């Protein structure tokens, strides 16, 4: 924009190191620059315009096409200033440049006040970031949050949909920890119910005693095989019944294999020794399989709950609700809650034969968690197809008298993962198996890395380790960079691209920086000197600004339960650094002070990349 189109003011001051007040000098080292400026500007605005009390300030990074570091939007202040936008901005700018040593100049573009800080402040900011061993992470708050994720059924192996759930839950937990919370990572295993009985019954009918050992299959895969087998025979029986003239709805209810499964569930709840023993055996196979998949994914849990241990407590709560008149019993002995007055419908809580439903056991589990752990908040990481379920859960808890708990339940609802060919279906066996996907990602990463020469000079053991890191990093980043609320399309090949917004691109950036530092060490180049007065290029200032935004980014990700905020921040940082690296020499820089500064800047970029990627559950390689 030409000079005539804006108002500009610059103050001539001595060296900033001599002028900076003790308060501001400390503030810029201990808090986010934007936060410090917001507080400073708020004080100036309050002094100029007392009527502006309570008006939120809109401060952000100045757009690249304009001169300045930070921009204040003054339009919300016009009612209090009683002046035109340009005059209001100029008045605030004059007062700031006169009273705040860090602000070197300002310019006004219509209702936008662009503020330029002294360049040496960015040297100090870089030093402050480097000196803060806990940079980006908050101090403990004493706030306890439980995050439930994974929550698998023990009738099938984990698949691509479970992968999104696990990665999202694990990352949100790590981000909430970084925000100062005490976090309990919890897994609720759906180890009982009609779906479990379907696998058990199919194994009894068609398994011929097959075991993981005799078949060579992982236990969760073997049990999942019989879940699919049940569905195949169930559909065949429905076809037979409908061909004989029975309506389809009636055929679905009266198919012999379904009636057998329902009877097995009743026997299980009655603790029938034969059924219970089979249940323990087959679930044991599944748990061994799950543990291997969790280890491969790099996720873990602090507590594991089992529905078989909580559904009885849920039944007690249902009885409590009946006594209080909150629930009612129908003629068939089933128990319901009427939520029509709340804009919902009537919800089944207990079947007529006394067996429980999902809501029954979720009531028991929620009660147990709040009672045992004194939680401040309980977050359920569950797909958006269960939105209604959690509305009901919160409402029923409140009606039972546990509103203090229900008000602190949050459903982190996320979109489904789809494939180019459409949705996955567990019953039909058309899912992307988690174990197969992990293996394929690592194999593809190995092939692509070799093709690109990124494994040149490393032995086979290190090549395998790097390929595993890159393959899993690609998978995790591709899933976590998408806003949780959105349905996503997964493309394995695209996720391993070493260019663009991918995990491997960021991992390679980290490895590139570490390579530069190793070469500096090997050449005996020192980089621990004082950089307080080293001149900075605009690109270097922009990188320092981006580094300085890491704490606010972590905080935003925690407030929104969105790892995508971290993912896209780290990508922007890596992309900016790569552009800088391409345009400016580091080790070949002849000026020793500038070379020292560039090495220190590079070290901090690598450090924040590593720290941010760990919040996503992703490791970064030292070499590649």
Cα dihedral 351→356→359→365 (10° resolution): 160
pLDDT at 623: 87
pLDDT at 489: 86
For the stretch 225-258, pLDDT in tens is 999 999 999 999 999 999 999 999 999 999 999 9
Name the DSSP class of 138.
P
Is the CB of residue 269 less than 8 Å from the CB of residue 196? no
Nearest to 293 by CA among 167, 148, 134: 167
At 470, the pLDDT band (50, 70, 90 cuts) reads very high
Is the CB of residue 336 less than 8 Å from the CB of residue 328? yes
Answer yes or no: is pLDDT of 378 > 90: yes
Answer yes or no: is pLDDT of 345 > 70: yes
Higher pLDDT, 32 or 5: 32
Answer yes or no: is pLDDT of 358 > 80: yes
Answer yes or no: is pLDDT of 340 > 70: yes
* Cα end-to-end distance, the chain, whole Å: 44
Neighbours of 53 (CB within 10 A): 10
DSSP bridge pairs for 73: 58, 112
Mean pLDDT (whole number) for 520-525: 96
CA dist 532 and 529 (Å) reads: 9
Among 195-204, 381-390, 440-449, the range scoring the smallest mean pLDDT is: 440-449
Answer yes or no: is pLDDT of 11 > 70: no
CA dist 264 and 197 (Å) reads: 6
For the stretch 538-551, pLDDT in tens is 999 999 999 999 99
Percent of the chain with pLDDT over 70: 93
pLDDT at 432: 82
pLDDT at 18: 34
DSSP bridge pairs for 108: 7, 113
For the stretch 417-437, pLDDT in tens is 877 664 444 444 456 889 999
Answer yes or no: is pLDDT of 441 > 60: yes
Is the CB of residue 173 less than 8 Å from the CB of residue 200? no
Give the position of tokens 């981006």: 546
Q: What is the 3-state secondary structure (H, E, C) of 219-251?
A: HHHHHHHHHHHHHHHHHHHHHHHHHCCCCHHHH
CA dist 84 and 93 (Å) reads: 14
Mean pLDDT (whole number) for 104-116: 94
At 191, the pLDDT band (50, 70, 90 cuts) reads very high
Delineate the domains of the chain, giving CATH numbers in brackets.
3-118 (3.30.1360.70), 149-418 (3.40.50.620), 471-615 (1.10.730.10)
Answer yes or no: is pLDDT of 97 > 90: yes
- Average pLDDT score over the chain: 90
At 12, the pLDDT band (50, 70, 90 cuts) reads very low
For the stretch 526-541, pLDDT in tens is 999 999 999 999 999 9
SS3 for 465? helix
Mean pLDDT (whole number) for 454-479: 90
- What's the Cα-to-Cα distance from 425 to each of 44, 126, 431, rounded to whole Å? 60, 51, 6
Q: Which residues are within 8 A (CB) of 39 and not within 5 positions of it... i.e. 6 or more apart?
A: none
CA dist 513 and 607 (Å) reads: 10
Give the position of tokens 């269960």: 386
Mean pLDDT (whole number) for 520-528: 94
CA dist 160 and 39 (Å) reads: 46
Cα dihedral 415→417→419→425 (10° resolution): -100
Mean pLDDT (whole number) for 69-92: 95
DSSP bridge pairs for 144: 182
pLDDT at 24: 46
Mean pLDDT (whole number) for 471-482: 95
CA dist 90 and 92 (Å) reads: 5
pLDDT at 9: 53
Q: Is 314 exposed, middle or buried (0-12, 13-18, 19+ CB in 10 A)?
A: buried
């Amino acid at each position: 924009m030409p000079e005539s189109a804006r108002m500009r003011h610059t103050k001539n001051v001595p060296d900033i190191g001599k002028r900076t007040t003790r308060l501001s000098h400390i503030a810029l080292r201990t808090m986010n620059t934007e936060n410090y400026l917001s507080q400073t500007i708020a004080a100036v605005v309050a002094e100029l315009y007392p009527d502006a009390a309570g008006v939120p300030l809109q401060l952000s990074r100045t757009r690249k096409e304009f001169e300045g570091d930070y921009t204040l939007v003054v339009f919300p202040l016009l009612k209090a200033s009683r002046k035109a936008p340009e005059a209001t901005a100029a008045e605030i700018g004059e007062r700031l440049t006169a009273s705040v040593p860090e602000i070197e100049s300002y310019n006004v573009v219509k209702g936008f006040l662009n503020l330029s800080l002294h360049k040496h402040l960015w040297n100090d900011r870089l030093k402050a970031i480097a000196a803060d061993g806990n940079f980006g992470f908050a101090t403990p708050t004493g706030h306890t949050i439980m995050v439930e994720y994974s929550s698998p059924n023990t009738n099938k192996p984990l698949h691509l949909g479970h992968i999104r759930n696990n990665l999202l839950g694990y990352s949100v937990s790590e981000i909430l920890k970084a925000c100062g919370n005490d976090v309990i990572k919890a897994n609720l295993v759906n180890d009982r119910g009609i779906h479990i009985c379907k696998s058990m019954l199919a194994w009894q009918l068609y398994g011929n005693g097959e075991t993981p050992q005799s078949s060579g299959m992982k236990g969760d895969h073997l049990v999942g095989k019989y879940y699919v087998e049940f569905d195949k025979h169930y559909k065949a029986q429905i076809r037979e019944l409908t061909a004989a003239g029975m309506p389809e709805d009636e055929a679905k209810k009266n198919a012999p294999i379904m009636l057998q499964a329902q009877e097995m569930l009743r026997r299980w709840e009655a603790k029938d020794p034969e059924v219970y023993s089979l249940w323990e055996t087959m679930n044991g196979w599944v748990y061994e399989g799950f543990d291997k998949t969790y280890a491969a994914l790099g996720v873990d849990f602090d507590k594991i709950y089992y529905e078989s241990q909580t559904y009885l407590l849920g039944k007690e709560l249902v009885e409590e609700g009946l006594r209080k008149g909150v629930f009612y019993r129908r003629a068939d002995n089933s128990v319901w809650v009427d939520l029509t007055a709340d804009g919902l419908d009537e919800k089944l809580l207990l079947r007529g034969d006394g067996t429980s439903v999902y809501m029954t056991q979720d009531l028991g589990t929620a009660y147990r968690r709040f009672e045992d752990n004194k939680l401040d908040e309980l977050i359920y990481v569950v797909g958006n197809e269960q939105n209604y379920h959690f509305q009901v859960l919160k409402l029923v808890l409140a009606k039972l008298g546990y509103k203090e708990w229900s008000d602190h339940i949050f459903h982190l609802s996320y979109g489904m993962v789809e494939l180019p060919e459409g949705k996955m279906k567990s019953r039909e066996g058309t899912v992307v198996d988690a174990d197969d996907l992990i293996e394929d990602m690592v194999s593809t990463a190995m092939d692509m890395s070799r093709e690109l020469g990124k494994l040149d000079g490393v032995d086979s053991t290190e090549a395998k380790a790097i390929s595993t890191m890159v393959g899993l990093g690609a998978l995790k980043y591709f899933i976590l960079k998408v806003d949780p609320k959105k349905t996503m399309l997964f493309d394995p090949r695209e996720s391993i691209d070493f260019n663009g917004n991918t995990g491997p691109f960021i991992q390679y950036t980290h490895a590139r920086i570490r390579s530069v530092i190793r070469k500096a060490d090997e050449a005996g180049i020192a980089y621990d000197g004082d950089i307080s007065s080293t001149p900075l290029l605009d690109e270097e200032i922009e990188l320092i600004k981006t580094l300085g935004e890491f704490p606010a980014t972590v905080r935003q990700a925690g407030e929104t339960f969105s790892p995508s905020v971290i993912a896209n921040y780290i990508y922007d940082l890596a992309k900016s650094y790569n552009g800088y690296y391409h345009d400016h020499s580091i080790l070949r820089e002849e000026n020793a002070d500038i070379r020292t500064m560039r090495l220190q800047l590079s070290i901090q970029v690598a450090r924040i990349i590593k720290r941010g990627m760990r919040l996503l559950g992703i490791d970064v390689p030292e070499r590649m």
